[in-house]
Amino acid sequence: MAEITDVQTIYEGWANFHVATVRREDGAILSHVVEDHGNAVAVLPYDPVRGIAILVRQMRTPVLFAKADPRTLELPAGRADHGSSEASVRAEALEEAGLRLSNLRLVVSAWTMPGVSTECADLYLAEFSDEDRVSSGGGLAHEDEDIEVVEVPLRDLAAMADAGELRELKAFALLAALRLRRGDLFA
């Protein structure tokens, strides 16, 4: 079995970056950069009565760096740092989208970028109703979040995905899961 024989930390901050020396099973020695910032959560909140989903739009510097439109349409999401995965996704939905979610359904715990990151994301679907909209959302001021809450009809969201316009992978995956589980919402 492969083993890590040495780790050098090259940066510590919101994310930590390390260079890991690995000895493969065949004896080859390799060095890999590893980004480590903990696990993540994301949720696709949807109202089955009104046929809508709540997403958020915010400026993302890495997308700007890649020379694309930096105001990405994505899910309420964040680090899993509120105790449990469920508590974390509820906190993110409240902070970013103003939603108090109770009925969470875990779809998958998945590695987001296993070639470079230790992040594993717990991805949830959650039904909500008008009563669950308890604030305007928008993120936390002390985190310099500038989040726009976006209500999108499920049919439009599906059309965006089909046209290649829904470019945030977690949103794309959870929309696909919702379409498989609740195809009646898209008819």
pLDDT score at 86: 96
User: What pLDDT digit, counting tens, does each position of 102-116 carry?
Assistant: 999 999 999 999 999
pTM: 0.92
Give the confidence band of 47 by pLDDT, cuts at 50, 70, 90: very high
Give the confidence band of 187 by pLDDT, cuts at 50, 70, 90: confident
pLDDT score at 140: 64
**Separation of alpha carbons 133 and 74, rounded Å:** 18
pLDDT score at 167: 94
Give the confidence band of 143 by pLDDT, cuts at 50, 70, 90: low
pLDDT score at 43: 98
Q: Quick one: what percent of the chain has pLDDT higher than 90?
A: 85
pLDDT score at 76: 97
User: What pLDDT digit, counting tens, does each position of 50-98 carry?
Assistant: 999 999 999 988 999 999 999 999 999 999 988 899 999 999 999 999 9
* 3-state helix/strand/coil string of 117-167: ECCEEEEEEEECCHHHECCCCCCCHHHCCCCEEEEEEHHHHHHHHHCCCCC
